């Protein structure tokens, strides 16, 4: 069961999506679900995915937390001193926002619910 504030997903940067998939498939036996030409998800103990979209690519992994009420969680993040880097947006599978914590770490929070 998904819980508010728990790490739920890990997004990893991938310069070449096919190369990343081939490596992890060969080395560890991972399988993937493709979501377009620049994204492939995995479920290997902790759900996650490789993002090769040049417009979205970062050099660091992106921990993604879960929230049942995305708007309320965004307010909690701001009230605690987090800086919203990307307001709530839709993506295949749900909605999410990105923030930077006071230490400078970028994270995201997602919800599988439809817009309120």
The total domain count for the chain is: 1
Residue 95 forms part of a structural domain: yes
In a domain, 2, yes or no: no
Each residue's pLDDT tens digit, 44-90: 888 899 888 888 766 788 999 999 999 999 999 999 889 999 999 99
Give the 3-state secondary structure of residue 13.
strand
Task: Identify the CA nearest to 64 among candidates 115, 99, 23, 88.
Answer: 99
Whether residue 114 has pLDDT greater than 80: no
Compute the distance between CA of residue 59 and CA of residue 43 in angstroms, rounded to an integer. Answer: 22
Is there a domain that residue 48 lies in?
A: yes
CATH number, residue 90: 3.10.180.10
Pairing, β 106-111 against β 62-66: parallel
């Amino acid at each position: 069961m998904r819980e508010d504030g728990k790490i739920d997903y890990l997004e990893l940067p991938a310069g070449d999506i096919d190369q990343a998939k081939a490596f992890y498939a060969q080395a560890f036996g991972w399988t993937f679900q493709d979501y377009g030409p620049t994204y492939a998800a995995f479920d290997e103990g902790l759900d996650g995915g490789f993002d090769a979209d040049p417009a979205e690519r970062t050099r660091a992994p992106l921990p993604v937390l879960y929230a049942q009420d995305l708007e309320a969680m965004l307010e909690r993040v701001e009230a605690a001193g987090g800086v919203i880097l990307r307001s709530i947006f839709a993506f295949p599978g749900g909605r999410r926002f990105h923030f930077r914590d006071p230490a400078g770490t970028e994270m995201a929070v997602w919800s599988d619910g439809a817009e309120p």
